[in-house]
Amino acid sequence: MVHMTNDLEKTPVTVLGLGAMGQALAAAFLKAGHPTTVWNRSAGKGDELVARGAVQAGSASEAVRASELVVVCVVDYDAAQAVLDSVADELPGRVLVNLTSDTPERSRTTAAWANERGIDYLDGSIMVPIELIGQPEALIFYSGPRAAYDKYEPALKALGGKPAHLGEDQGLAAVYDLALLDYFYGSIAGLVHAFALAGADGVRAADLAPYLNTITGFMPSLAAEAARHIDAGSHPGDAANLGMMASGVGHVLKWAEHRGLDVSTLRPIKEVYDKTVARGHAADSWTSTIEVVRGD
């Protein structure tokens, strides 16, 4: 017996905004078999998607009416709000997923706007580059009503195989997003500085790079252990105390200054370490620096 495919049962989706990321989102929905309607403020960006089976709506309102799940991904929250204001009357009864990046404050403001109008609103943050959209390893954060997320999780998995619902507070996706970006930007700034420091003594970046794995490899376990200590408010320094590490940072800073490097990313690390040592944490772990960072 031949079984029919269930493509016709796939959730219809609408994608508002066809920049590079919006096009990737729509393409992922199409690939997963979802009837997909697209709309963009400027014409022409949906042609390739239409050739692959998408329906291009003539207006944002028409696009919203076509689907029960509406995804918006535009350049910023001002642009997103302009689009949402124009379709506000069409959105109640549907689930709106905003994958535009901004701050938790903007996410919560948009959530309040949606709640006032009876719109089920999920805020999201895409944590992978465009080329990984739709792939099993793609992480996308969502926050907002759990019932709305649970209902549409199968459709949202078309965008990435690792969706994570963080809680009912619509600002949480942006909180996680900015925290991870904080870690990322700090890490790559340190990487560039390390290459510059080695290069000042004639060492090529490519020659240093293989040895960076010595540090990169233990970062996941280090992060997990640090998180436990920070959440517990306990900072045992048996393995590596802060006084010793402050001295190590001082050596790096001194040599970088000697070589004439910009130390504007490095000097604040030494300052935070020194402030924490001055508070009496020299024998504690480096995680005790969180007290200074938090402004306790």
pLDDT, the chain, mean: 95
pLDDT for residue 194 is more than 70: yes
* Per-residue pLDDT band at 5 (split at 50, 70, 90): very low
Residue 240 binned pLDDT confidence (cut-offs 50, 70, 90):
confident
Please report, for the chain, the start and end positions of each structural domain, with discontinuous segments joined by +: 10-170, 176-294
pLDDT for the residue 44: 83
Between helix 77-86 and helix 104-116 the angle, nearest 10°, is 10
pLDDT at site 1: 34
User: What is the per-residue pLDDT across 47-72, written as a single tens digit (0 to 9) for each?
Assistant: 999 999 999 999 999 999 999 999 99
Third-level CATH fold of 10-170? Rossmann fold (3.40.50)
Buried b (16+ CB within 10 A) or exposed e, 21-46: bbbbbbbbbbebbbbbbbbbeeeebb
Mean pLDDT for the stretch of residues 264-280: 97
Rounded distance, CA 57 to CA 61, Å?
A: 8
Percent of the chain with pLDDT over 90: 94
Superfamily, domain 176-294: N-(1-d-carboxylethyl)-l-norvaline Dehydrogenase; domain 2 (1.10.1040.10)
For residues 45 and 24, give the distance between their C-alpha atoms in angstroms, rounded to a whole number.
12
Q: Express each pLDDT in 274-284 by its tens digit.
A: 999 999 999 99
pLDDT of residue 276: 98
Distance CA 77, CA 75 (A): 7
Q: What average pLDDT does the segment 208-221 reach?
A: 96
Strand order in the sheet with 139-143: 55-56, 36-39, 13-16, 69-72, 95-98, 120-126, 139-143, 162-165
pLDDT at 3 over 70: no
Q: Evaluate if residue 2 carries a pLDDT over 50.
A: no
Kindly tell me if the per-residue pLDDT of 4 is higher than 50.
no
Q: What is the mean pLDDT of residues 107-123?
A: 97
100: number of Cβ within 10 Å: 26
Q: Do residues 129 and 119 touch, judged by C-beta distance below 8 A?
A: no
Q: State how far the alpha carbon of 19 is from the alpha carbons of 43, 48, 128, 287, in Å.
A: 11, 13, 16, 41
Q: Is the pLDDT of residue 244 over 90?
A: yes
Output the CA torsion sign for 137, 141, 145, 146: positive
pLDDT of residue 61: 97
The pLDDT, as a whole number, for residue 89 is 97
Amino acid at 285: S
Do residues 288 and 273 make contact, with C-beta atoms less than 8 angstroms apart? no
CB-based contact 165:140 (threshold 8 Å): no
**Residue 8: pLDDT over 80:** no
What lies within 8 Å, CB to CB, of 184 at 6+ separation is: none
How much is the pLDDT for 43? Answer: 82
